[in-house]
Amino acid sequence: MLKNSFFIKIVFTLLIIIFMFSSISVLAISSIYIWSDMTDAVSTVAPSDDKNTNNTVVNNTKSNNTQNIDNMNNTNMDSTQPTSNIDNFEQNSSNSENSLSLESGSAILIEQKSGEILYEHNSHDKLLPASVTKVMSILLIMEAIDEGRINFEDKIPCSSEASKMGGSQIWLDVNESLTVDEMLKAICVVSANDCTVAMAEYLGGSQQGFVEQMNTRAKELGMNDTTFKNCHGIDEEGHLTSSHDIALMSRELLNKYPDITKYTTIWMDSLREGTSELVNTNKLIRNYQGATGLKTGSTSMALYNLSASATRNELSLISVIMKAPTTAIRFAEAQKLLDYGFSNYSYKEFGKKNDIIKTLNVNKGLESSVNAILEEDSGMLMKKGKDKDIVQDILLEENISAPVSKGQKLGEITFSVEGNVISTTNIVSDNNIEKINLLNMSLSVFSKWFRLLR
């Protein structure tokens, strides 16, 4: 029986060798005729040129959805970018006339994903931010965690300077250390100045070193109205920002680290084994449907400030109020802005990241096809009650040749209104496809036959 089995394997091996040389011969002969008609690299897609013979509109559909915003100024939004400057969406509307009759000195409402401005009032006025400053401090802490410089369980000591901080605090003692997780909870829920300074000193070497990092990050985000003088927000000459810039850093924090809402949505909690009670300074967390954060701030000079965020039915909004005359007006006007946004706008999702758009044939590859998938979530903001037609165009490369890299751009999907592109998402390869050659073809053939023999 063993001899017969051995004999059968010998026969199969000879058949494999014969098949392999036959395949090589066919491949070589075929290459003579087709190699000159193909390119080795995938050419880039030109979405504006429908006459390009290498590109094809695979799908062209219309839906009775609304325009992205009242005045888009023909802006092309590339969803592949990690952030977008909300300056790109400035509107010449009645918002500058304070059509909502806000009593606060400055305000802005933006859509979180795109950064589009939906309403603004004196949004570039440079004002005292108070503890809303801590949005930037929290962002830098989360980035340090993301980069592996610290982790949530690291113990953070309390310096003498941190223990002497006034204002909102949890009365840190120089002899105690709290974890990063506990520090974040105290900063997000009760706006603890002492915890903010302790974290700043730990990450920046000193509070001043950390403030320099804050200002550098602010410039990267396009926060041109902002100069930070401290990490906590206590009034200091020259420590200024605007509602526009607060919206920018709030958006960056929420988009980049959505898990921060694990802290910013806490209404009540405790530290030190239950001995220190925490109650959120943001009353919207308890009273407003869909509230996700974010940060309050008030001093005698700054008056009452708030960066408020909320999500309903896939639409995420950020409302910023500065220089409200009372705390009640602060919350009421932040809610008024959010209500305005949810009443007048909706977010339409067209596809999720990694959704398969089409399976494409691949020339000269070890694999004959590759899936073309969405690089990012695809969707758009629309104004309710408008009957504008949204046109969806999917442009894909027809003639793809190996090698193909995972994540390589194969095309794009665009959404337009009246010929104006308002949203674009890349379509990319979901896998690596090697170019066929003598070695890898032989290995592939042997591998397939070996699996059959087993």
Taking every pair of Cα atoms in the chain, the longest distance, rounded to a whole number of angstroms, is 96
Q: Which 3 state secondary structure label does DSSP give 171?
A: coil
Neighbours of 154 (CB within 10 A): 16
Amino acid at 175: N
Is 134 part of the annotated catalytic residue set? yes
Is 191 part of the annotated catalytic residue set? yes
Residue 448 CB contacts under 8 Å (≥ 6 apart), including other chains: none
Alpha carbons 151 and 144: distance in angstroms, whole number: 8
Alpha carbons 105 and 304: distance in angstroms, whole number: 10
Q: Which helix (H) or strand (E) holds 371?
A: strand 369-374
Alpha carbons 199 and 134: distance in angstroms, whole number: 11
Kindly name the residue from 191, 243, 307, 346 that is annotated as catalytic. 191
Region of residue 191 (phi > 0: left; psi between -120 and 50: alpha; otherwise: beta): left
Alpha carbons 388 and 382: distance in angstroms, whole number: 10
Look at residues 267, 219, 243, 300 and name the one whose alpha carbon lies nearest to residue 109: 243
C-alpha atoms less than 13 angstroms from C-alpha of 79 in its C-beta half-sphere = 26
Neighbours of 2 (CB within 10 A): 6
Task: List the alpha helices (DSSP H) in 96-231.
Answer: 134-146, 160-163, 180-190, 193-204, 207-220
Looking at residue 240, the DSSP 8-state letter turns out to be B
Kindly name the residue from 113, 134, 323, 336 that is annotated as catalytic. 134
Alpha carbons 255 and 84: distance in angstroms, whole number: 11
| β partners of residue 396 | 56, 411
Kindly name the residue from 106, 131, 298, 401 that is annotated as catalytic. 131
Is 444 part of the annotated catalytic residue set? no
Q: Which 3 state secondary structure label does DSSP give 358?
A: strand
With beta carbons less than 8 A apart as the criterion, state whether 380 and 66 touch.
no
374: Cα separation from own chain's centroid: 15
Length of the chain: 454
Q: Which helix (H) or strand (E) holds 414?
A: strand 409-417
| Backbone phi, psi, residue 127, to 5° | -130, 170
Look at residues 170, 186, 173 and name the one whose alpha carbon lies nearest to residue 138: 186
Which residues does the annotation mark as catalytic?
Answer: 131, 134, 191
